[in-house]
Amino acid sequence: MIYSFAPYVNSKTEILILGTMPGIASLEKQEYYAHKRNHFWKIMYTLLGELPVSEVFEEKIKVLESHKIGLWDVLHYCERKGSLDIHIKNQKENDFETLFKNYPSIKKIAFNGKESHRYFTKKFGHIKGITYYVMPSTSPANTMTFENKLKIWATILG
């Protein structure tokens, strides 16, 4: 059984980015999007005008927080061989009812990939007052170019 991380949100968070479950590299380092070829941090830093990307995870989180962006995963735990979402089984979702009650400033959810959106809407449907964006996965398994991912991810900041 593998477990996701605690959410990185605060009272100012307006945009919540949701993955499905951290991959192997992220679980080993205990940091979101730790795989060297994952485009997540490069996309965020580029869109937020904060380049170069920090090597320090806590600084990365501070950059997101300063732009009212939070991070979490849809799943609390699951069984999975490898890092691909298609291998997930015996999963349990995180407690989003409590999260949204405690952080009412969240108005947008950006799903990092179709699977996180699928797991979320299957359990929670559409939450009133929150706009959903299904973004291309930043994972190296998604072969879309960085430039195309960046262009689509830019829509959440509009």
Q: Which are the catalytic amino acids?
A: 38
Q: How many Cα atoms are found within 13 Å in the side-chain-facing hemisphere of 99?
A: 26
The helix (run of H) or strand (run of E) holding residue 77 is strand 75-79
Specify the residue for token string 């952080």.
Answer: 103
- Reduce the secondary structure of 126-137 to three states and give it as a string: CCCCCEEEEECC
Helix (H) or strand (E) holding 103, with range, is none
- How far is Cα of residue 73 from the mean position of the Cα atoms in its chain? 6
